[in-house]
Structure 1
Amino acid sequence: MIARVWRGYTRAEDASLYEAMLKPELLPGIGMASGYIGSYLLRRQQDAEVEFITIILWDSIEAIRAVAGEDFETAIVPEERRKYLLRYDEKSAHYEIASVHGLGLALN
């Protein structure tokens, strides 16, 4: 299992609008993609900014490539959301999940 991790930052006053754009799916249609397992959206207030972290769980790097293309590390940030972001990771980080506890997920 692979976790795709990305960070973006908004102004405090834009945070709720930006967050609403990410629900119920972080990216349009991602829930129907082959190999998609689930996702987390994390939010943290930092003075005048709000940090958002997305963690998208996939069954393999190949599943990510099928959605994101060969340059799978490049972040996918829809244009309509960029206007709310002060800055964001140009690349997503990918981590192999070594262990899971208490989430109802099992590693193969």
Structure 2
Amino acid sequence: MGIISRHWKGIAKPDEEENYINHLRQDTFPKLRGINGFIEAFILRKTTDRGVEFLIVTHWQSMEAVRQFAGEAAGVAVVPLAVQAMMVEYDEEVAHYEIVGGESRSE
């Protein structure tokens, strides 16, 4: 199996946007960097009528690496209580995809 791409979405309250980004940078991402098999993470956002929608995409070397972060029920979202309080709504499950191809610009 190739690289695993893990996707999770949530809509933050408008006044919690920066708090959520700070939580990711100061709490979640340092934990991810400590997991063998973690590759990278991306924060994507767009403004909606209900708040700021975030799509968090992480890449992993294997599902075993994902389970080191998420536990045995790897399809269940990891949403700490502090983050739940920042959200209007959020996915309780995540989606995993196997990366089978792609392209990037070479410099």
TM-score (norm 1): 0.85
Would you say 1:97 and 2:99 are equivalent positions? yes
> How many Å apart are 1:13 and its aligned residue?
2.1
- Name the SS of the counterpart of 1:29 in structure 2: helix
Q: CA deviation at 1:25?
A: 5.7
Greater share of residues in helix:
2
CA RMSD of aligned residues (A): 1.8
Is 87-96 or 41-50 further displaced after alignment? 41-50
Map 1:77-92 onto structure 2 (within 5 A). Answer: 77-92=79-94
| Residues paired across the two proteins, number | 104
Q: 1:22 to 1:28 in 2, by over 3 A?
A: same
Q: 1:67 to 1:17 in 2, by over 3 A?
A: closer
Deviation readout 1:10-38 (Å, 9 max, x if unpaired): 12222122222111564451111011000
Matching residue within 65, 68, 71 for 1:69: 71
CA distance in 1, matches of 2:67, 2:19: 29
Structure 1: stretches of 5+ with no match in the other structure: none
Shift of residue 81 of structure 1?
1.5
- Using the size of structure 2 for normalisation, the TM-score is 0.86
Percentage identity across aligned positions? Answer: 33
Stretches (4+) displaced over 4 A: none
* 2:34 pairs with one of 32, 37, 61: 32
Contact kept? 2:11, 2:50, Cα under 8 Å: no
Deviation at 1:57, TM superposition (A): 0.2
Unpaired segments ≥5 residues, structure 2:
none
Residue type of the alignment partner of 1:20 = N
